[in-house]
Structure 1
Amino acid sequence: MESLVNPREKIYFFILAAISLLIYLSLIISIVGIPYLVAGLIISLFAHGIFIGHLRGNGIRLSENQFPEVYRLTAEYARRMGLDHVPAIYILQAGGLLNAFATRFFGRDFVVIYSDVFEIAYEEGEPALAFIICHELAHIKRKHLTWSWLLSPAMLIPFLGAAYSRACEYTCDRFGAYFRPDGAVSGLLILAAGKKLYRNVNAQEFRNQADNERGFWIWFSEVLSTHPNLPKRIKALNL
Structure 2
Amino acid sequence: MIISVLVYLLLLITFVGILYIPLIFGVTLFIHGIAIGNIRNNGVRLNKNQFPKIYARAEKIAFDMGIREVPNIYILQSDGILNAFATRFFGKNFIILYSDIVEIAENGFEKELDFIIAHELVHIKRKHITKQMFILPAMWFPLLGNAYSRACEHTCDKLAAAYINNPESSIKALGILAVGKTLVRELNYAEYVGNAKFESGFFTWFSTVLSTHPPLPQRITEVYRIAPMFPSSPIASPERPKASVSQVQA
Q: Could you tell me the TM-score, scaled by structure 1's length?
A: 0.88
Cα displacement string for residues 104-152 of structure 1 (whole angstroms, at most 9, x for unaligned residues): 0001000111111111244233210000000000001111011121111
**What is aligned with 1:8?**
none
**What is aligned with 2:31?**
47
Is structure 2 residue 43 aligned with structure 1 residue 69? no
The equivalent position to 1:223 in structure 2, one of 209, 212, 215, is 209
Is structure 2 residue 167 aligned with structure 1 residue 167? no
How many pairs align? 223
* Equivalent residue letter for 1:210: A
**Cα separation, 2, equivalents of 1:120 and 1:75:** 19
Identity over aligned pairs, percent: 52
Is structure 2 residue 177 aligned with structure 1 residue 191? yes
Preserved CA contact (<8 Å) 1:122 1:129: no
The equivalent position to 1:177 in structure 2, one of 133, 158, 161, is 161
The equivalent position to 1:102 in structure 2, one of 81, 86, 94, is 86
Distance 1:142 1:122, change over 3 A: farther
**Cα separation, 1, equivalents of 2:200 and 2:109:** 34
The equivalent position to 1:133 in structure 2, one of 108, 114, 117, is 117
Cα displacement string for residues 200-237 of structure 1 (whole angstroms, at most 9, x for unaligned residues): 21122212233233333222211111111101110111
Q: What is the DSSP-based 3-state SS (H/G/I as helix, E as strand, rest coil) of the residue aligned with 2:33?
A: helix
Q: What is the DSSP-based 3-state SS (H/G/I as helix, E as strand, rest coil) of the residue aligned with 1:40?
A: helix
Is structure 2 residue 2 aligned with structure 1 residue 18? yes
**Cα separation, 2, equivalents of 1:88 and 1:124:** 25
* Equivalent residue letter for 2:155: T
Q: Could you tell me the TM-score, scaled by structure 2's length?
A: 0.85
Structure 1 unaligned spans of 5+:
1-16
Which deviates more, 88-97 or 169-178? 88-97
Q: What is the DSSP-based 3-state SS (H/G/I as helix, E as strand, rest coil) of the residue aligned with 2:48?
A: coil
**What is aligned with 1:29?**
13
How far did residue 101 of structure 1 move?
A: 0.6
How far did residue 195 of structure 1 move?
A: 4.0
The equivalent position to 2:44 in structure 1, one of 56, 60, 63, is 60
**Cα separation, 2, equivalents of 1:183 and 1:142:** 22
- Aligned residues: CA RMSD: 1.4
**Cα separation, 2, equivalents of 1:58 and 1:199:** 32
Distance 1:194 1:125, change over 3 A: closer
Preserved CA contact (<8 Å) 2:73 2:94: yes
* Larger RCO (CA within 8 A; separation ≥ 6): 1
